[in-house]
Amino acid sequence: MERTRAGLSQTALAGEDFSPSYISLIEAGHRVPTDAALAVLARRLGTTAEYLRFGDKAPSEERARLEIGFARLALANGAAEEARDRLLALDVTTIAPRHHVEALHTLARAHEALGELDACVAVLEPLLADARADRRWLETAVMGSDLVAAYHEAGDLGHSIALGEQLLEEVESAGIGGTDEHLRLAATLLWSYYERGDLLFAAHRASELIALAEAKGTMRGRGSIYWNASLVAEGRGDFAEARRLTERALAYLSEGAASRDVPRLRLHYGWLLLRCSPPEPDAALVQLDHAAEELAVVGSELEIARCDFERGRAYLMLGDADRAEDLATAGLARLGDQAALDVSNGHILLGDAYAARGDVERARETYQWAVGRLAMMSAGRMAATVWRSLGDRLLAHGDAAGAAHAFDAALRDAGIQPTAVPAAVVTSRTAAGFGEAANA
């Protein structure tokens, strides 16, 4: 009953317009309210007059459920644009509030899949605020995870971490620690710690979460924690541990229902195998080819592009520069002007393919394009990694000045600021003839 769901007594619902007995008669089926009365009651109950009259069989309700269902199916099949357009055309004010959250959450996921992060955040913020206000803690954790991830993807790590820490404290205080929703939120926050470079704290937190997940978590919850713990291990340079944790995560997530997480994890595993010592491009391609097939159906354009880039790197290691160029070009075409960091990564791969074919000048031009794009990026560990990668290539092609700039940017983005050199040190250096020695 809508009155009970709204937490109103018959007297409160009646207000000054009706008597409590009139409300009682309506609920007992002894009175049929007029259209004007239904409009007043619907407004107080936060629903629609059509829903009060017909319930779930109301034409607007049935139409809304169909549109939401079609949108979710389109999103699951990789047609995020269709899902977005269907939901934007849906007037949620004409349907009962019970459908609002599902419709808007699906819309936010469609925006995220299309790389429309500003629009995604704009939808998620009020959904999260409502869930927190009503103390719906499982829903708070779900919306919070998506919003923390959206801020992370947008490069706003400060807000991502601040929001994640606040939400984690709230949901843990509410007693839902160890649920899939809680573990997913914690894992998403761990990802942001990793990106910001807080690796020591992240490693400590990962150990705590692994223990909690093993004690209380489902397969999906454990998989989420092991996945993000592997990122932390990789960030600390322990590739063997990162690989072990990734394989554990893949085993857990593969046991559950099919989801977008499995191909995304395969993409991460392939990325890791290409960076082990020695790299394993053949094994990486096995994971990346599986990921590419699945992401073509359920992945976002950004994830598919990232998979293209990693497959290109594997082919380049195996000596196939033409295939690497094709994949770099395909990935860049998917991204357009979105995701500056990933676009820079794609251009580095493209430059590597040119260099492998002996077209050094074209490779240098492509690397320089990446320099200009990276200069517009906010600081972060992944940006530092790309800067370092770019610096190595510029140095290999004889651009010492460009390489020095890239290495300096890598240090800055990793949080290592330049030190101030006292004037006395500079004077002493000149007086001691260091300048002459350096020029000799």
pLDDT digits (tens, 9 = 90+) for 76-88: 777 888 999 988 9
- The pLDDT > 70 percentage for the chain reads 84
Q: What is the DSSP string of 109-172?
A: HHHHHTT-HHHHHHHHHHHHHHHHHTT-HHHHHHHHHHHHHHHHHTT-HHHHHHHHHHHHHHHH
pLDDT tens string 261-294: 899 999 999 999 998 889 999 999 999 999 999 9
* 103, pLDDT greater than 50: yes
pLDDT at residue 171, as a whole number = 93
Q: How many Cβ atoms sit within 10 Å of the Cβ of residue 30?
A: 9
* 379, pLDDT greater than 60: no
Residues 231, 414: Cα–Cα separation, whole Å: 16
* 433, pLDDT greater than 50: no
* 429, pLDDT greater than 60: no
Under a CB-based contact definition with an 8 Å cutoff, are residues 306 and 269 in contact? no
pLDDT at residue 439, as a whole number = 39
Residues 78, 96: Cα–Cα separation, whole Å: 28
For range 17-44, the mean pLDDT: 76
* 40, pLDDT greater than 80: no
pLDDT-based confidence at residue 437 (cuts at 50, 70, 90) = very low
pLDDT at residue 432, as a whole number = 47
**Distances from the Cα of 397 to the Cα of 109, 126, 388, 400, angstroms:** 42, 51, 14, 8
> Alpha helix locations (H) across 256-339?
261-273, 281-298, 301-317, 321-335
Under a CB-based contact definition with an 8 Å cutoff, are residues 389 and 405 in contact? no
* 56, pLDDT greater than 70: no
* 31, pLDDT greater than 80: no
Look up residue 422 and give its DSSP letter.
-
pLDDT at residue 9, as a whole number = 77
* 309, pLDDT greater than 80: yes
pLDDT at residue 255, as a whole number = 79
For range 426-434, the mean pLDDT: 48
Please state the separation of Cα 315 from the chain's center in Å: 27
pLDDT at residue 424, as a whole number = 57
For range 31-41, the mean pLDDT: 76
Under a CB-based contact definition with an 8 Å cutoff, are residues 150 and 120 in contact? yes
pLDDT at residue 285, as a whole number = 97
Of 33-42, 207-216, 416-425, minimum mean pLDDT range: 416-425
Under a CB-based contact definition with an 8 Å cutoff, are residues 402 and 394 in contact? yes
More confident position, 428 or 205 = 205
pLDDT-based confidence at residue 425 (cuts at 50, 70, 90) = low
Q: What average pLDDT is seen over the chain?
A: 82
Under a CB-based contact definition with an 8 Å cutoff, are residues 213 and 229 in contact? no
Three-state DSSP state, 99:
helix
* 440, pLDDT greater than 70: no
Under a CB-based contact definition with an 8 Å cutoff, are residues 84 and 75 in contact? no
For range 333-345, the mean pLDDT: 82
For range 245-273, the mean pLDDT: 87
pLDDT-based confidence at residue 434 (cuts at 50, 70, 90) = very low
Of 34-38, 50-54, 434-438, minimum mean pLDDT range: 434-438
- The pLDDT > 90 percentage for the chain reads 32
Under a CB-based contact definition with an 8 Å cutoff, are residues 71 and 87 in contact? yes
